Structure 1
Amino acid sequence: MSGTAMTREKIDAAAAARLAILASATFVYVTFEVFPVGLIQDIARSLDVSAGAVGLLISGYAVVAGIVTVPTVALASRVSRSTALVVSLLVLVAGEVLAAVATSFPMMVVSRVAAALTHGVLWSLIAPAAATLVPRERVGTATAAVFGGSTLAAIVGSPGTTLIGELIGWRATALVLAGVTVAVTFGLVWALGLRGGTARTAAEEGREPAVPATGQRRAYWPRVLFLCGVAVVLITAHFLSYTYFAVLTADITGTSGAVVVLLTVFGLAGAVGTWLVGRHNDTAPQRTAAVTIAVFAVGIGLLALAPALGGPVARSAAAAAAVALWGGAFAAAGPVFQTGVMRLAGQDADRASSLYVTGFQAGIAGGSVLGAALLGHSPLWLPVVSTLLVLLVLLAVLTRRPVPAVEPDE
């Protein structure tokens, strides 16, 4: 198909509906991943443990997900991608129900481990699955749409479960979330269909990014690893500061009341960033990556400079602007790197995505640990070190140009 003909292809209504279902799957997964955040005190009192112990449910989730992603994705390759995705949601339902009936902290830990076991399967396969629903030159748009579910979880999912939990209790809220996940699972069956067999079907593979040409095939795995490594540094830089968002922003603005407002700004900016990257990631992926990381650096750098400004109004305004740039860029970075990994790996996209997801979880855990160490000295060190790491990523993106074009073999 010629490039002229390809540019005329659009994402039709049926494909858009299926992408919405896939985005809903990422929405429910991320909502449960961060479920303890807004209800941490209620859960701690109910299970008779400290708030710090409940906080470990989040970092522990990331560690488990990072360890098991590669082997579970390899196991999932024995069945069709659609089957693996549906099973991952069913395991999530089991984890949500177990959380609802947990009468002890160990039972709550088991519920989190259960969900973490298939976290990597869903995140490794969801973007490649989206790629099969759209024309090849729209893969970046489809990836951004699917990642929009995780952005929506930050805007609606986490605050929503917190609000519902305050009204009906955290256990009943976990059951509500399980019911939503069941509905999404049925939607996923419709969107992708359950296909048997031990290999990817022709329908699943037909529109995936092509395998690189012979001359490039030997080199694409080092490029995948390099791109994943760059992403790990960026995720570390993000979670180094984001994990302690409440402490950092309260220290800058001088009031804890600003935290909720700034979190809302972060989430809304993420929605804008996801929309923008969907418009440009297919036409100019390398430039999109460079602009995204540059905006990330400006945002987190401004947050580092905010405490040096004059009065509380100036500091609060600077913090709001910084959080908006940071939130928008971080939401855009995920689709940029995920799409780049898929394009480099071609029909090895599932395996490459599993490495990317593993790196993502390593970044979460590593950033949280490094942030905790820096927090003991001063909250200001968090955005300062984050900025240095993001600048390192920007240097790598500008000099090595690791993000591939839409069709590297043509």
Structure 2
Amino acid sequence: MDAATVARLAVLAGATFVYVTFEVFPVGLIQDIAQSLDVSTGRVGLLISGYAVVAAVVTVPTVALASRVSRGTALVVSLLVLVVAEVVAATATGFPTMVLSRVAAALTHGVLWSLIAPAAATLVPGDRVGTATAAVFGGSTLAAIVGSPGTTLVGELIGWRATLLVLAAATVAVTIGLVWALRPSGRAHVAGTGEAAARDTRGSVHCPRVLILCAVAVVLITAHFLSYTYFAVLVADITGTPSAVVVLLADFGLAGAVGTWLVGRYNDTAPQRTAAVTAAVFAAGIGLLALSPVLGGAGVRRAAAGVAVALWGGAFAAAGPVFQTGVMRLAGADADRASSVYVTGFQIGISGGSAIGAALLGLSPLWLPVTSTALVAAVLLAVLVRRPVPAADETDSQEPEGSLQEL
């Protein structure tokens, strides 16, 4: 890829960075926000699941609505709505206003996530779509490395409200960059699922295969957010010190960077194997976290937690590009619509995981990684037996049994 293409992909990654950073903003500052708004920690945790519920409900119709304008216009509008949501959240004087800010961002969340990967695919040849998708998802990984621990650290220094205003300023900068990145440049690649083809050619999707892949992804996302939503509480309980939260969030994010780099190398050549390895490493990481409290003294527990979080973070970062690219390969020319179904499933997983985690938290924080491990084990079994992720050169030769237009 030339320098201009790399720069454009970097801007698209910046868009996913700011969106994910706002989406998971409550995770590291959950107790500060709860105290400031005079609500329980569990109620603040539901801001994440509530966000996901709204996004899940509106993604398919909002993406259909966005198809009436250019992909670039839809993406820019999504980011402008995010800026408004961030400012509203920063000035929230009560829990209802905070909920309003989350709903506003959730309304366009699905539009951005459904269109961003297909937009990246138009910038590269067909055999580099997996790499481009991984690059864009690198923004969400960077959110884990810098966004989540960074906002947690900055929030402890200047307060969570001021931190949200800083995030809003960053979102404005990304929006300006996106206007440049998506302007017509004559570089769109037909093999990379061009915009015109994606919007004009319908009915080429084998609906059952897309839905099966999305269903497997939903279980994995549920397993992740079941524990990740309450990361601060879980880590403090296992390590015995709240100060470990920022360190382990950074550990999670740095490992995610490695996972994103690796998936970028192998997702275009061995996607099925990559999916299996990703699920196995995920299961090993979250399983080790569940076992950490019984491994010995405080030092051993903290070391085990560090290794567990690294495995978990690396695998989760790799999972997104694997499933997203798989959906796009199965969808062919209908990538936008198929991506909207995938994003809807993603949000269902977030809301379901956060809600289940809130219920289990009342029993014991340790139930979170234990339950996550069981769910990821089921995903690994499905990946090995059902093989839902298509091969790099695979096209579905069966006659479509349904169309995503019917959903």
How far residue 146 of structure 1 moved from its aligned partner, in angstroms, is 0.7
Asked whether the equivalents of residues 204 and 334 of structure 2 are also in contact (C-alpha less than 8 Å), the reply is: no
Alpha-carbon separation, structure 2, partners of 1:285 and 1:139: 12
How far residue 228 of structure 1 moved from its aligned partner, in angstroms, is 0.2
Which residue of structure 1 lines up, in the alignment, with residue 200 of structure 2? none
Which residue of structure 2 lines up, in the alignment, with residue 393 of structure 1? 379
Which of residues 292, 297, 310 in structure 1 aligns to 2:278? 292
Aligned length: 391
Asked whether the equivalents of residues 205 and 347 of structure 1 are also in contact (C-alpha less than 8 Å), the reply is: no
Which residue of structure 2 lines up, in the alignment, with residue 62 of structure 1? 52
Alpha-carbon separation, structure 1, partners of 2:358 and 2:90: 30
Alpha-carbon separation, structure 2, partners of 1:173 and 1:259: 18
Change (3 A) 1:330 1:91: same
1:325 matched to 2:311:
yes
1:93 matched to 2:79:
no
Asked whether the equivalents of residues 222 and 353 of structure 2 are also in contact (C-alpha less than 8 Å), the reply is: yes
How far residue 126 of structure 1 moved from its aligned partner, in angstroms, is 0.4
User: 1:226 is paired with a residue of what secondary structure?
Assistant: helix
Alpha-carbon separation, structure 1, partners of 2:163 and 2:333: 40
Which of residues 334, 337, 341 in structure 2 aligns to 1:355? 341
Which of residues 359, 368, 377 in structure 1 aligns to 2:354? 368
Letter in 2 for 1:397: V
Alpha-carbon separation, structure 2, partners of 1:402 and 1:126: 23
Which residue of structure 1 lines up, in the alignment, with residue 244 of structure 2? 258
Which of residues 303, 307, 326 in structure 1 aligns to 2:293? 307
How far residue 233 of structure 1 moved from its aligned partner, in angstroms, is 0.6
Asked whether the equivalents of residues 209 and 342 of structure 1 are also in contact (C-alpha less than 8 Å), the reply is: no
Render the CA deviation track for 1:170-214: whole Å, top value 9, x for unaligned. 44333322222111111111111279xxxxx99475521899xxx
Which residue of structure 2 lines up, in the alignment, with residue 124 of structure 1? 114
How far residue 238 of structure 1 moved from its aligned partner, in angstroms, is 1.2
Which residue of structure 2 lines up, in the alignment, with residue 19 of structure 1? 9
Change (3 A) 1:95 1:205: farther
Render the CA deviation track for 1:56-105: whole Å, top value 9, x for unaligned. 32222111111111111111111111111111111111212223343443
Which residue of structure 1 lines up, in the alignment, with residue 72 of structure 2? 82
Asked whether the equivalents of residues 285 and 307 of structure 2 are also in contact (C-alpha less than 8 Å), the reply is: yes
How far residue 251 of structure 1 moved from its aligned partner, in angstroms, is 2.9
Which residue of structure 1 lines up, in the alignment, with residue 405 of structure 2? none
1:247 matched to 2:233:
yes
Change (3 A) 1:389 1:54: closer
How far residue 266 of structure 1 moved from its aligned partner, in angstroms, is 1.1
How far residue 143 of structure 1 moved from its aligned partner, in angstroms, is 0.7
Letter in 2 for 1:177: L
How far residue 323 of structure 1 moved from its aligned partner, in angstroms, is 1.2
Q: Give RMSD over aligned pairs.
A: 2.6
Deviates more, 1:388-397 or 1:44-53: 44-53
Deviates more, 1:59-68 or 1:380-389: 380-389
Alpha-carbon separation, structure 2, partners of 1:295 and 1:122: 29
Deviates more, 1:158-167 or 1:138-147: 158-167
Letter in 2 for 1:396: A
Q: Percent identity of the aligned residues?
A: 80
Asked whether the equivalents of residues 49 and 352 of structure 2 are also in contact (C-alpha less than 8 Å), the reply is: no
Change (3 A) 1:209 1:324: farther
Which residue of structure 2 lines up, in the alignment, with residue 207 of structure 1? 192
Letter in 2 for 1:207: G
Alpha-carbon separation, structure 2, partners of 1:306 and 1:165: 29
Correspondence 1:181-192 to 2 at 5 A: 181-192=171-182
Alpha-carbon separation, structure 2, partners of 1:312 and 1:45: 29
Which residue of structure 2 lines up, in the alignment, with residue 147 of structure 1? 137
1:336 matched to 2:326:
no
Letter in 2 for 1:208: T
Change (3 A) 1:111 1:219: closer
Asked whether the equivalents of residues 250 and 259 of structure 1 are also in contact (C-alpha less than 8 Å), the reply is: yes
Long gaps (5+) in structure 2: 198-202, 398-407
Which of residues 89, 94, 102 in structure 1 aligns to 2:92? 102
How far residue 220 of structure 1 moved from its aligned partner, in angstroms, is 2.0
Asked whether the equivalents of residues 136 and 209 of structure 1 are also in contact (C-alpha less than 8 Å), the reply is: no
Letter in 2 for 1:376: G
Asked whether the equivalents of residues 21 and 184 of structure 1 are also in contact (C-alpha less than 8 Å), the reply is: yes
Alpha-carbon separation, structure 2, partners of 1:303 and 1:39: 21
Which residue of structure 2 lines up, in the alignment, with residue 73 of structure 1? 63
Which residue of structure 1 lines up, in the alignment, with residue 105 of structure 2? 115
Change (3 A) 1:342 1:324: same
Change (3 A) 1:382 1:54: closer
Render the CA deviation track for 1:294-340: whole Å, top value 9, x for unaligned. 11111112222223322222222222111111110011001100000
Change (3 A) 1:98 1:254: closer
Which residue of structure 2 lines up, in the alignment, with residue 237 of structure 1? 223
Letter in 1 for 2:57: I
Change (3 A) 1:334 1:400: same
Change (3 A) 1:55 1:373: closer
1:404 matched to 2:390:
yes
User: 2:192 is paired with a residue of what secondary structure?
Assistant: coil
How far residue 168 of structure 1 moved from its aligned partner, in angstroms, is 4.2
Alpha-carbon separation, structure 2, partners of 1:258 and 1:45: 20
User: 2:152 is paired with a residue of what secondary structure?
Assistant: helix
Asked whether the equivalents of residues 209 and 343 of structure 1 are also in contact (C-alpha less than 8 Å), the reply is: no
Structure 1 segments of 4 or more deviating over 6 A?
none
Alpha-carbon separation, structure 2, partners of 1:46 and 1:404: 47
How far residue 45 of structure 1 moved from its aligned partner, in angstroms, is 5.3
1:282 matched to 2:278:
no
